[in-house]
């Protein structure tokens, strides 16, 4: 079983989760707004704290404010298991393949 758990930002296409779970049903892929996850509309710093406390890697397409928030988070002595900013030039299929590769490698 992999140790990686993904939290998808609320603006990430839901198809990404659908395709990830189609390929690997045992994968943990939550989305902001899911029960137990941060609620929709949560501020970026709150999401980063939640990921830190719950051991989730954030998958986001927020290239405007998230880099600033992650910098502030780390400067304040905090950490996160990881954050992946989606490449807008990659297809859903390519993104799924990359996230599956990372997830699978964590089992080694």
Domain locations in the chain as residue ranges: 5-105
The CA–CA distances, whole Å, from 46 to 43, 70, 87, 98, 106 equal 5, 11, 23, 26, 26
User: Among 3.40.1360, 3.40.1000, 3.30.1340, 2.60.120, what is the CATH number of 5-105?
Assistant: 3.40.1360
Question: Residue 62: its pLDDT value, please?
Answer: 85
Tokens representing residue 24 in the block? 């690997």
Q: Name the pLDDT band for 101 (thresholds 50, 70, 90).
A: very high
pLDDT exceeds cutoff 90 at 2: no
**Model pLDDT for residues 20-73, shown as the tens digit of each residue:** 999 999 999 999 999 999 999 999 999 999 999 999 999 999 878 888 998 999
Which of 1-10, 13-22, 55-64 is modeled with the greatest confidence?
Answer: 13-22
Question: Residue 47: its pLDDT value, please?
Answer: 96
Tokens representing residue 22 in the block? 């189609």
């Amino acid at each position: 079983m992999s140790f990686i758990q993904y939290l998808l930002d609320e603006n990430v296409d839901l198809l990404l989760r659908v395709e990830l779970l189609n390929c690997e049903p045992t994968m943990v892929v939550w989305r902001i707004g899911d029960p137990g996850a941060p609620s929709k509309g949560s501020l970026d710093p709150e999401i980063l704290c939640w990921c830190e406390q719950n051991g989730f890697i954030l998958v986001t397409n927020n290239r405007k404010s998230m880099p600033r928030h992650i910098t502030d988070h780390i400067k304040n002595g905090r950490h996160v298991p990881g954050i992946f900013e989606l490449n807008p030039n990659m297809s859903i299929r390519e993104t799924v393949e990359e996230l599956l590769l990372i997830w699978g490698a964590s089992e080694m």
